[in-house]
């Protein structure tokens, strides 16, 4: 085996390692966001996020995670009485990201959709991390406004 082959193998293993490292932190973010939702608000258990590590299966599973996470976050935000414009936070951005990821398996389209996927993935990750930080604050007790007399 030549030195060039060894370098190529080493570079490939390093790239795979970096990719797995980043993916683990992404999955941690999604899983922690779900854990911060009360069990009554969740539409998916946090541990199921880790199925995203399964190659090819993750192309379909990612859609389901995005949908469930959006519903869960929306439920939790409404339950806590936090003002939010999105009924299912992150869902639209997440679905666009998943579509780009699925299109990455199509030859020729994969270059454009791969770049779009990377940008959307970072945006989605950041958005979910933001909602997760929002849920770090304790729930606010919602008290009804007093009835005004005429």
Domain that holds residue 67: 32-134
Over range 123-141, report the average pLDDT: 87
In a domain, 69, yes or no: yes
Percent of the chain with pLDDT over 70: 91
In a domain, 74, yes or no: yes
Rounded distance, CA 28 to CA 70, Å?
16
In a domain, 25, yes or no: no
Neighbours of 126 (CB within 10 A): 12
Give the count of domains, the chain.
Answer: 1
What's the predicted TM-score (pTM) here? 0.85
Instruction: Tell me, letter by letter, the H, E, C secondary structure of 25-48.
Output: HHHHHHHHHHHCCCCCCCCCCHHH
In a domain, 13, yes or no: no
Over range 129-147, report the average pLDDT: 73
Over range 59-80, report the average pLDDT: 96
Our CA angle for 37, 40, 42, nearest 5°, is 50
In a domain, 146, yes or no: no
Q: In this predicted structure, what is the pLDDT of residue 62?
A: 98
């Amino acid at each position: 085996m030549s030195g060039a082959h060894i370098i190529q193998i080493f570079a490939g293993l390093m790239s795979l390692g970096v990719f797995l490292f980043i993916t683990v932190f992404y999955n941690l973010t999604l899983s922690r966001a779900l854990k911060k939702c009360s069990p009554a608000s969740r539409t998916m258990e946090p541990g199921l996020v880790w199925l995203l590590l399964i190659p090819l299966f993750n192309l379909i599973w990612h859609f389901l995670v995005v949908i469930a996470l959006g519903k869960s976050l929306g439920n939790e935000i409404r339950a806590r009485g936090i003002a939010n414009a999105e009924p299912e936070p992150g869902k639209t951005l997440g679905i666009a990201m998943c579509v780009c990821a699925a299109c990455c398996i199509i030859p020729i389209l994969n270059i454009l959709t791969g770049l779009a996927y990377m940008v959307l993935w970072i945006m989605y990750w950041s958005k979910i991390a933001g909602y997760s930080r929002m849920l770090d604050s304790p729930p606010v007790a919602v008290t009804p406004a007093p009835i005004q007399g005429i």
